[in-house]
Amino acid sequence: MSSRLGPKQDYDYDKTDQIWEWVNNSNVGVMGFDGTIPIECLEFCVEQYNRFGVPVHPDMYDVIRIGAGSAFYHCECNDPYALFWEVSDVNITNEWSMYTYEIRDGDRRFEADPECFETFRYVPGQCEEVFDHIMSHPGLAALPGCVGSELSDILRGEYSDEPAVGNTHGADLEVLRKMCTINGVEDWTRINAYYDLAAWAGFAWLAGPPGRIYRMDRHDVIGVAISYGESILLDGCVMDPQFYKKLSRPPISCHVCGVSAWCTELTMTEGFTRHICEHCNSEGMPPIHMATCGGKRCLLSECLHHPYHNHGTAGIRNAMRDFGQLRSVADGQTVTRVAGSKVLQLKG
């Protein structure tokens, strides 16, 4: 018999990462990024080169595109959760483990499986704060979390067969190599720095206020969360609060009394799929022999439906006395079974 009484913790669930499922099943990522960098982002990157006095040539467009594109690729496929860890204006939350979400699908109503959906919330002002920090701390190493090191890995070819320089258009790369040649020697530290600066600026644009409209247009989770304050992702479907109701009780709890316990099961009631505990499911009928609730045997006197609930700490002892395994022994309802031909005896 299970002994759970009370809601599960978020780590108790066998969670399926919904955005990863989205990426793996769609083959186009979460924003449909095809390598095309918005012109506003390219202009922003050029501004950063100028800001730090780094020479820019009109014929090195592909260098900037590939550098900034690494940030888009990272948030698109490599780590689709990168924008949701207190980096942008929408965070992923654990509210899926705190509340019951009743989904409205036309005339259908059902409780969402907490292991198969994720919750997101709009955080006003967070985007601007993080953007200001990024802009005042240039360089990949200063980006939030491990984003910088992962962008560096992408540019150096850790996730593909070719590094950034290998994917750059020949003419554009030749221009860059000439710009980074000192006394007849190509300086690859400078060459790589051009890609790094574009990657840093590209991420700042994508995650910050300049890229908010782009994010809202391309990423449904972000667009819905900003427009409605929150959103959920359930089985690949992004929903706003019009399509669900957030109930003030934990997931997998009884829709009648709100208790969270091992006996709670999914049932059909009034044409809807809801969870209900054994006590409420039996509609208050007297329990069958040796049962404490309906047709189940439970020793959790802490549960408000247990017959010994009002006995306090003595209720635990009384429950074991009347319903424990040794109760059956005392009533002569047990059979001794010993494997083998010899009876094992305790040695003194």
Q: Which tens digits make up the pLDDT trace of 96-135?
A: 999 999 999 888 889 999 988 999 999 999 999 999 999 9
Q: To which residue do tokens 């059956």 refer?
A: 328
pLDDT of residue 22: 72
Predicted local confidence at residue 348, as pLDDT: 47
What is the spatial distance between Cα 274 and Cα 264, in angstroms, rounded to a whole number?
Answer: 10
pLDDT tens-digit series, residues 181-217: 988 898 999 999 999 999 999 999 999 999 999 999 9
Q: Do 200 and 323 fall within a single domain?
A: no
311 in the same domain as 239: no
Query: Domain check: are 317 and 209 in the same one?
Result: no
Instruction: Tell me: do 305 and 205 sit in the same domain.
Output: no
In a domain, 336, yes or no: no
Shared domain for 69 and 132, answered yes or no, is yes
Residue 152 lies in a domain: yes
**Residue that finishes a domain, picked among 229, 245, 261:** 245
Same domain, 288 and 214: no
The Cα 295–Cα 195 span in angstroms is: 67
pLDDT at 261: 87
**Same-domain pairing of 68 and 187:** yes
Closest to 226 (Cα-Cα) out of 212, 237, 247, 205:
212
- Which of 227, 245, 263 is at the close of a domain? 245
Question: What are residue 307's phi and psi, to 5 degrees?
Answer: -60, -20
Is residue 84 located within the same domain as residue 160? Answer: yes
Q: What's the CA gap between 321 and 314, in Å, rounded? A: 11
Does residue 204 sit in the same domain as residue 80? yes
pLDDT number for residue 34 = 87
Q: Whole domain around residue 32: which residue ranges?
A: 10-245
Q: Are residues 44 and 160 in the same domain?
A: yes
Domains of the chain: total = 2
Please provide the size of the chain in residues: 348
Angle, vertex CA 43, rays to CA 39 and CA 46, nearest 5: 140
Residue 77 DSSP class: I
Q: Which residues of the chain have pLDDT under 70?
A: 1-2, 24-28, 284, 287, 289-290, 308-348
Domain co-membership, 213 together with 309: no
Are 87 and 80 in contact by the 8 Å Cβ rule? The answer is no
Q: Are residues 140 and 192 in the same domain?
A: yes
Say if residues 103 and 112 touch (Cβ distance below 8 Å).
yes
pLDDT computed for residue 232 by the predictor: 94
Q: Using CA atoms, how far apart are residues 36 and 50, in angstroms rounded to an integer?
A: 22
pLDDT confidence of residue 172:
92
Angle at Cα 60 formed by Cα 58 and Cα 66, nearest 5°?
A: 135
pLDDT of residue 28: 64
